[in-house]
Amino acid sequence: MNWLTGFLKSSVGRKFVMAFTGLFLCFFLVVHLAGNLMLYIGGEAYNNYAHKLHSNEEFLLIAEVLLFSAFALHIALAFTTTLENFRARKKSYKLVETKRDDRTMPLSASTDYTMMITGMIGLFFLVWHISDFKLEFGWEALLEGQNPAQKVGVILANWSRVLIYTLGSVAFGIHVSHGLASACQTIGFNHPKYTPAINVISKVFGVIVAVGFSSFPILANMYPDLLNFSGVVTNSH
């Protein structure tokens, strides 16, 4: 295991693990959004999808362990790397070096800073999200006897969740719009010919994530009929 700790301690190793886990999490976002889009087809289509997902317990368990390990590694490495970068910086903490040695720019304008802020907003959202949908914490009475589509309708009809879910979705969109291209570069998938296209794909992916995920809380409140939550009764929890 020495090679593994050595690899994770080296900056190249850490960048590689961050890129690899980031790409895996992007793949999860695609699958998760595709599943949620079933709500546009109708409550029944979404319930069938949720039922199929939960009927294969072994698959679900393996997927969840992989998912949470990827999140944990990605977040832990983001914090340790950022902390070390701060410590290693000889210049004022308010300035970071640009790729040109003779210039500095405000820290708040750097992509590192944007990635850290959007990542932290995303993490804040995830804690609420897991607490809402996996643990159903505080929702027990309202979700009692509801089917999966109705549960989404009940939770997203709450105004505080509209704010948290929209903010989280937009933060994830901004995060991946830079992260996807950056991860491709780290794993060596860059070439003068393809890099411009990868950058565009990354931005488009970011917009799809932000608009796609935030459409659910927004529409659940403004046009609940469009999402067809199987006649769910909304609440003011």
Residues lying near ligand HEM in the complex (CB under 6 A): 29, 32, 36, 50, 64, 67, 126, 129-130, 133-134, 152, 165, 168-169, 172, 213, 216-217
Nearest approach, Cβ of residue 206 and ligand HEM (Å): 12
43 or 168, CB closer to ligand HEM?
168
Rg of the chain's alpha carbons, rounded to an integer? Answer: 20
Question: Which residue's Cβ lies closest to ligand HEM?
Answer: 133
Nearest approach, Cβ of residue 19 and ligand HEM (Å): 17
Nearest approach, Cβ of residue 232 and ligand HEM (Å): 13
Nearest approach, Cβ of residue 8 and ligand HEM (Å): 23
The contacts of residue 121 (CB under 8 Å, 6+ apart) are 167, 168, 171
96 or 149, CB closer to ligand HEM?
149
**233 DSSP assignment:** P
68 or 86, CB closer to ligand HEM?
68
Q: Measure the CA–CA gap between 129 and 230, rounded to whole angstroms.
A: 22
Task: Please say whether the beta carbons of 182 and 15 come within 8 A.
Answer: no
32 or 203, CB closer to ligand HEM?
32
Nearest approach, Cβ of residue 204 and ligand HEM (Å): 17
Amino acid identity for residue 50 in this structure? A
- Encoded tokens for 155: 């939770």
Strands 95-97 and 104-106: antiparallel
- Encoded tokens for 167: 């903010």
